[in-house]
Structure 1
Amino acid sequence: MFDVPLSATYCFLGLAAASLVVVGVAADLPTRPPPDARAAANSVDALAASDYPGTATHPLEASSVRVTPRSLGLRTDAGATHARFAFGPVTPVDADSRLGAVARGTPPSEAFESPRALAAMAEATREDAGDATWRSARDEIVVRRVNWGDVHVTLVLT
């Protein structure tokens, strides 16, 4: 009379299994949205479109970044986003290069012998960056528009 019917046991086990699945899915959901690559690309475009030299920074909340002459990608555990530059091509630079020093504020005349040397290194760097890989992101990107003689280069330091 107070015995549990056999079908109730199966219902209870099914409900317990479904609860475990729901908890597993909820635990795997990202806790924040993916990073905003479009906002970072807009910061780059603002200087790349300008005729005047300038410097800008944009904060990043990403674990990895990939910059090519035509696009920018940001990635976290919540996902990856990509954005194309409207103006360009831009020159992605490493912090430990001469172009990286110029991106951080060194006058190009101190880092290079001539505007042609700057243009040649920027061109070679853009060619190498065409197949860029994901790399660890810093807290911000630095964008610098450099005008030296008839050479105009937009440098992006990540």
Structure 2
Amino acid sequence: MSRSIDYGNLMHRAMRGLIQEVLTEVRDNGLPGAHHFFITFDTTHPDAKLADWLKERYPAEMTVVMQHWYDNLEVTDDGFSITLNFGDAPETLYVPYDSIQTFVDPSVEFGLRFETQDSDDTDDDDDDPSDPASLEVEPEKTEADVVSLDSFRK
């Protein structure tokens, strides 16, 4: 068995670091200009924390919007917590970076999508070097729709 560099996991870690850096900047200075974020995360992640009624309403994943009103943004090395308003009901969420599935800033057509990877797979026979990495940086089409770069490949 040959060892190899796990570029997919290295890219995931780097892009989660980018999210941490962006959120730290927002925590310290607020959202600049028209910037706002759509963040989709896995609500079943063992470290994700959200109100029971939100977990019941979003049993698999949830997309939150950081735009006009948010409060108590705290950023750590493992995730972030934030208070958001859900129909006049402020709720605090904790989102681990590992639970994030998409991070989109439509104001500048920037988006990241994280595909789930089984870290237990040490020798995956399905690996194809011609396949794109499981992390895609994507332009946005309209509103929160994310377009895959694969659609532009010949």
| TM-score, reference length from structure 2 | 0.29
**Structure having greater relative contact order (Cα 8 Å, sep ≥ 6):** 1
Higher helix share: 1
Larger radius of gyration: 1
